[in-house]
Copies of this chain bind each other. A is one copy, B any other.
Amino acid sequence: MFDADKPGNGCVNDFSRTLSTLVWEPLIPSSAVTIFSGGTEGVLSPHVTFIVEEKSDTGLLAAVGRTRVLDPDEIGTPEHAKQVRKTVIAMIDSLGVPRSHVELVLVKCPLLTSAKLEVIRATGKVPITTDTYDSMATSRYASAVGIEFALQGLSESELGVTISSGRKWSSKASCSSGAELEDCHILVLAKSLSSGCLRAVSSFMENAIDAPTIMYLLDKVKEDKGEVLQVFAKAEADPSGLIRGSRHTMNTDSDIHSTRHARAAVGGLLAGLVGDTQIYVSGGAEGQGPPGGGSLCIVYRYNGEV
């Protein structure tokens, strides 16, 4: 598996993601999946993270998978969530650990372009949204709901209601949309049954300035004399327009999309606390942590006594 933070705008017309796909995919095994997340606003630094297989038990298990290709009119719908749920369940099963051992489910999912909207209209169907930027959010949310259903062991029958209500969220879900793929690429990270030198801790930020939660996880790493290998975070503009009671302007800025603002701010906070700008911070946290917050997972190397 392979993921990367790329220097484009992280939105619909982020050609740096397509460029990365084109450059990297021929270089990695076909059994691997790529997850390219665009948008290195503020201090964030373009980088690549490889997650590779080791012979010995490291303490951390990874599985990669893909859903089937989604038809354009399925993006963001209960069917989308269903395919993610099914795939994630099979991936966890393949790891042979209980669901509670999962620390992160990272998904790259498709979005609606003008061309895909025309395909939908041509077949007389109705797209879930006609706004291409908005389709990124609906796609992320459907993926997050699929993850949460898989992790909670919920049956797929409630998927439709949940998608409509917009209320469900998972602190293990991290979803990013892009124009460079038609299916969903998925990575699951879980603790193994034995303990090794690689570890992961996860939680969720309550809001975009939730330094205490970040510090709490970093303290756990410190207790283990650990060295942070990678941080996977989601960030978003609080839909209420407020952060701890004070107005923010991310949702009324028509010059910079809110996902760019959120990545810049939460990326600045995380990079400062971790002391590293090559971290994975993705914008748009619908269903991935509470509204205005975001999921957070830190992978580190244990250096304490065994």
Contact = CB atoms under 8 A, between A and B. Distances in A.
Given A41-B261, A241-B115, A261-B41, A46 B267 contact: no
B241 A117 contact: yes
A15 B19 contact: yes
A165 interface: no
Contacts of A46: 247, 249
A40 B243 CA distance: 13
Given A132-B251, A246-B277, A209 B22 contact: no
A252 to B, nearest CB: 5
28 contacts: A7-B13, A8-B13, A8-B15, A13-B253, A14-B254, A18-B19, A19-B19, A40-B249, A42-B42, A42-B265, A43-B208, A44-B249, A115-B241, A118-B240, A121-B240, A132-B251, A209-B268, A211-B272, A211-B273, A244-B276, A246-B277, A255-B255, A256-B256, A261-B264, A264-B265, A266-B268, A268-B268, A268-B269
A133 B248 contact: no
A306 interface: no
B7 A43 contact: no
Contacts of A8: 13, 15
A211 to B, nearest CB: 4
Contacts of A260: 256
Nearest to A244: B277
Interface string A2-46: 000001110111111011001100000000000000001111111
A131 interface: yes
Contacts of A195: none
